[in-house]
Amino acid sequence: MKVPFELEWMGGAPEHHFRAARPGTDDLPWGTLDPSRYAPAAVEFARGSWTEVAMNEYRAVASFSEVLRALVDVKAPLDLLGMTSDFLADECSHVELASRMAMELGGAAPRTIDFDRFTTKGRGATALQRANDLVLRVACIAEAFSGGTASVSLAATTHPLPRAIYESILRDEARHRRVGGRYFEWAFSKIDDAERARLGAILLQGLRGLAPFWKGPAARADTPRPWPEDELHALGWLGPARFGTVAKEVVVRDILDPLSTIGIAISESDRAELLG
């Protein structure tokens, strides 16, 4: 069932503890962005996009919870469990940053989410297979994709507030992506050829889900846009056509290439079809 995406804040002890765990949020240059100085279409696009970042970060809280549980079940090294646990608070902090950014632009855009389909459960017959599946999809695909594309968005962002938000998020995301490499380093000797082939199929399926970013109608460079591109940049966003190009580059450089070095790969023909 779809419900509106809404967040609550409690204050008091929970806020105090969370602020102590992730300090600095209130030091960002909040209140310095005047939306009336930008084209309404650019503000609308940015509001919607920052709202969707908040939703994706909320999904990351759920996803890393599943990853953590899968790592416990597969008896992964304790320090890897501790590192992954720490990411949950990071993702909560990212939800806060992105949602406050949407508020600065006039309020969150109305969006619905379906909690029945929200989290990604580990797929596989064994604890090892379920951990492999989740680490691949969450750390090696989703986190690598969002971190890789966000660093290009940061480079184009001119206003200090969205810049500070991206910088804060990306500092954490760099660590989140690394959990994939560390996990597979540990799991490598336990994974046979059949499992590697299964993971290749999961990889292909995951990347096909991203392909609309560069293949979909919105990615076409000749689509007329209602906003000046530099105003989107100011507010933290690349236009959809440029984003599509970046998305494809990130998929190759940050996902396909590193995974192929550990034998998780898709066929040449699938690769050509995916990127074509």
Interface contacts to Fe ion, rule CB under 5 A? 57, 60, 91, 94, 143, 173, 176
Return the sign of the alpha-carbon dihedral for residues 71, 76, 81, 87: negative
Shortest Å, Cβ 236 to Fe ion: 15
Q: How far is the CB of 95 from Fe ion (least distance, A)?
A: 8
Cα 153–145–107 angle (5° rounding)?
Answer: 55
Closest separation in Å from C-beta 50 to Fe ion: 13
For Fe ion, which is the closer residue by CB, 23 or 226?
A: 23
Are the C-beta atoms of 1 and 116 separated by less than 8 Å? yes
Take residue 143 and report the two structure tokens written for it: 């986190």
Distance CA 111, CA 124 (A): 32
Report the alpha-carbon distance of residue 47 to residue 76 in Å, rounded.
40
| Beta carbon nearer to Fe ion, 56 or 245 | 56
Residue partners of 183: CB distance under 8 A and separation at least 6: 71, 76, 80, 131, 135, 139
Residue number with CB closer to Fe ion (143 or 231): 143
Structure tokens at 137: 């999809």
Nearer to Fe ion, 94 or 242 (CB): 94
Nearer to Fe ion by C-beta: 94 or 159? Answer: 94
- Which residue lies nearer to Fe ion by CB, 120 or 228? 120
- Please report, for residues 20, 22, 44, 59, 253, the alpha-carbon distance to residue 5 in angstroms, rounded to integers and kept in the order given: 26, 23, 17, 11, 33
Q: What are phi and psi of 212, to 5 degrees?
A: -55, -25
Q: Give the shortest CB-86-to-Fe ion separation in angstroms.
A: 11
CB of 47 to Fe ion, least distance (A): 19
| Shortest separation between residue 82's beta carbon and Fe ion, angstroms | 16
Closest CA to 179 of 150, 136, 145: 136
Report helix, strand or coil for 113: strand
Give the residue with the Cβ less far from Fe ion, 57 or 133: 57
Write down the least CB distance from residue 93 to Fe ion, Å.
Answer: 8
- Burial bucket for residue 218 (CB in 10 Å: 0-12, 13-18, 19+): middle
